Structure 1
């Protein structure tokens, strides 16, 4: 397969020169980079993909549902491609990276965002849900990084960003599998950072607290319905339970942090677990 430095001419007629050698000071900071964001058809992943595209990246979107094509259509023509892959499957991550090579060239930026959740006490936690959460939230990130790293090493540049969670640093009741996976993801981040410290590659984790996504919005609606509260009061109650700051993080804010970590200013930031949690872990 072609190396990324031989930038592919795709169906939309993108030029064959290496876009990343641009010296134009007006060019976006990540102009010509290729970014893969897993679990990016909505929510946090889509916000990250939008931020990377605005910074000049060509973006590979990933998911499992029908909404992938709709997500792709929200980007400028030729800037994003949707590749369906069920990352719970053992070979899916490698196949996804290979598809990225065919579409845009090898991956410069890998954002491991795909994840799922299930809430139950330990003694009632189903085996299949435990295995599914570990497979998607942790093992898939390991496999994607393993597939991306050889090309990053050859080119002397790479950014791996794992979207962990505040639950990668602290625990909550009923979330044993999610907490275990996210703690593991923070540990994986540190191990990759050590192994790539002098290869032009960085690996960091972002640990958000409450983010106002569709899934969290559904939780707010349940609190409002159960307690007879307004949506505003229900949101405040949700935040109050964990966060000192009564404010949600946003997918756009997380996307901006990802862009910073991919830039030259963050070239020595590696192995970090960066919180965006309204002070959650400070309590």
Structure 2
């Protein structure tokens, strides 16, 4: 397929989708389109009032559920209360370039929310997932590096861009290792990832008054596509014929914008040994393990 648009999203009737961070930006568009195509969509959001405001603009079967990915207790509560089958889990929510801060469990906020929060959520919900897990990564993974000696920036001087890149690289390593484990378990579930290219959303809302970040955002706005187009790679990864472990993104302007299709990832994002190590460490940090039985030792 050389082009992909909202019109190419098939009927989702009879399916249930969970979309994290669905009250704004790419997540909101993703949830809206899936609902329009007939899916029952659960908006998993930290701010329930904002979630309800977003839901009010959508047609179809839409529900709002509270989920704070920066708090493992909130993730466990969300998963415990969600007992029905899930066809699509869209790991979309994220934070970008906040001042140094920590989650409720003491993790650096970007690594804790973008990676560890979705890692825990996915594994807690996986026994109920029937079709696909899509995790939204970023071109920022290209500048990312996994520092296993200091994942939570407890000893290094904090650098927001590097921390964000680490969290997005972790998203891709998580997807590849999840795909491997699902395959070994004989599961029909497919794990894919997507990136929106450069998209004008409020992801960087936490940047505050930092002049440098404000200037960067202004420059990004000159080439960025809107959330409607930024959501297309996620919808492609969720509904198109993308193989397990696949990665989708815009195909035009060096991956910055355009119609989605299969995307390339860095060599670091293809490091199977790092993916396995990150998975083990993530299990230790969150206390959440892969719930399916594999045919061989992981």
TM exceeding 0.5: yes
Aligned to 1:182: 168
2:148 counterpart of 1:169: no
| 2:12 corresponding residue in structure 1 | 30
1:117-128 matches, cutoff 5 A? 117-118=96-97, 125=100
Q: 1:273 to 1:163 in 2, by over 3 A?
A: same
Partner in structure 2 of residue 68 of structure 1: 51
Pair 1:142–1:190, CA change in 2 (3 A)? same
Matched residues in 2 for 1:114 and 1:212: separation? Answer: 15
RMSD, matched Cα: 3.3
Describe the shift of the 1:208–1:216 C-alpha distance in structure 2 as closer, same or farther (beyond 3 A). Answer: same
Q: 1:56 to 1:98 in 2, by over 3 A?
A: farther
Residue 135 of structure 1 is matched in structure 2 by 112
What is the DSSP-based 3-state SS (H/G/I as helix, E as strand, rest coil) of the residue aligned with 2:70?
coil
- Pairing 1:150–2:127 present: yes
Q: 2:235 & 2:247 partners in 1: Cα distance?
A: 16
Correspondent of 1:100 among 82, 102, 115: 82
Name the counterpart of 1:269.
243
Indicate the residue corresponding to 2:132 in structure 1.
Answer: 159
- Tell me, yes or no, if the aligned pair for 2:134 and 2:234 is still in contact at 8 Å: yes
1:259 aligned partner: 235
Unaligned runs of 5+ in 1: 1-26, 228-233, 240-245
Do residues 279 (structure 1) and 254 (structure 2) align? Answer: yes
Secondary structure at the residue paired with 2:192? strand
Q: Deviations over 1:1-44 (max 9, x none)?
A: xxxxxxxxxxxxxxxxxxxxxxxxxx952211100011110111
Per the alignment, do residues 214 and 134 of structure 1 end up closer, same or farther by CA in structure 2, a change over 3 Å counting?
closer
Counterpart contact for 1:158–1:200, Cα < 8 Å: yes
Residue 43 (str. 1) matches residue 20 (str. 2): no
Q: Please point out which of 26, 32, 38 is paired with 1:56.
A: 38
Q: 1:215 to 1:195 in 2, by over 3 A?
A: closer
Distance change (3 Å), C-alpha of 1:238 and 1:218: farther
Q: Distance in 2 between matches of 1:107 and 1:250?
A: 28
Structural mapping, 1:83-94, within 5 Å = 83-94=65-76
Deviation at 1:214, TM superposition (A): 3.6
Cross-structure match for 2:196: 208
- Kept in 1, the 8 Å contact 2:137–2:171? The answer is yes
Counting matched residue pairs gives 226
Quick check: 2:102–2:108 contact (8 Å CA) kept in 1? Answer: yes
Deviations 1:77-107 (A, max 9, x none): 5x10011121211132232234333xxx221
TM-score (norm 1): 0.68
Q: Per-residue displacement from partner, 1:186-214 (whole Å, max 9, x unpaired)?
A: 10000011112342211111122321124
Structure 2: how far apart are the matches of 1:119 and 1:147?
A: 27
Task: Judge conservation of contact 1:60–1:100 (CA < 8 Å) in 2.
Answer: no
Q: Please state whether the residue corresponding to 1:175 is helix, strand or coil.
A: helix
